[in-house]
Structure 1
């Protein structure tokens, strides 16, 4: 399967994978509204075993088959151990 990747110009490090180039009608209106303008980045073959940055090609293909698109969000920030209450304050 071929996928076309677009980055959101409003949401940092957020990407949309579509099975057809510029087929933004696949995206639900609330998703389109939050992402804002999209800029084409690349096209990629989603072959079995293909390594991607944050998901397997199988996961991306499954989401495209089920929903018509795959949304890649930035990773959640790691918990800062210094922000926890250690119970040492007087």
Structure 2
């Protein structure tokens, strides 16, 4: 499946995969508002055997087929990072929980 990847200029590290180039009409309005402006970054051919660094290709393909889009959020912090002394002593945004 041919697909198109965009980066959110509002939400750092957040990518939107689309089944059709520039077809933002498939997005729920709330998602489009959350993502803000998007910049095209990649055109790629996906198939079940392809490996993706941060996403499960089967889930991406399923979302593209069923809803026309897939949202890739930034990778969550690893346990090693969260337990690192420098991280523990750093100030954190109180909204992160």
d(CA) in 2 for partners of 1:66, 1:54: 21
d(CA) in 2 for partners of 1:76, 1:48: 24
C-alpha offsets along residues 44-86 of structure 1, whole Å, 9 cap, x if unaligned? 1011211112113221110112222100000122353365xxx
Specify the structure having the higher radius of gyration (Cα). 1
Q: Is the 8 A contact 2:20 2:68 kept in 1?
A: no
Which structure 2 residues correspond to residues 9-88 of structure 1 after superposition, within 5 A? 9-79=9-79, 80-81=82-83, 83=88
d(CA) in 1 for partners of 2:55, 2:78: 18
Q: TM-score, normalised by structure 2?
A: 0.78
Q: Is the 8 A contact 1:49 1:56 kept in 2?
A: no
Q: How far did 1:43 drift?
A: 0.6
**4+ residue segments displaced more than 4 Å:** none
Q: Is the 8 A contact 1:15 1:73 kept in 2?
A: yes
d(CA) in 1 for partners of 2:33, 2:58: 27
Q: Give SS of 1:6's match.
A: strand
Q: TM-score, normalised by structure 1?
A: 0.83
Residue segments in structure 1 that go unaligned for 5+ positions in a row: 84-90
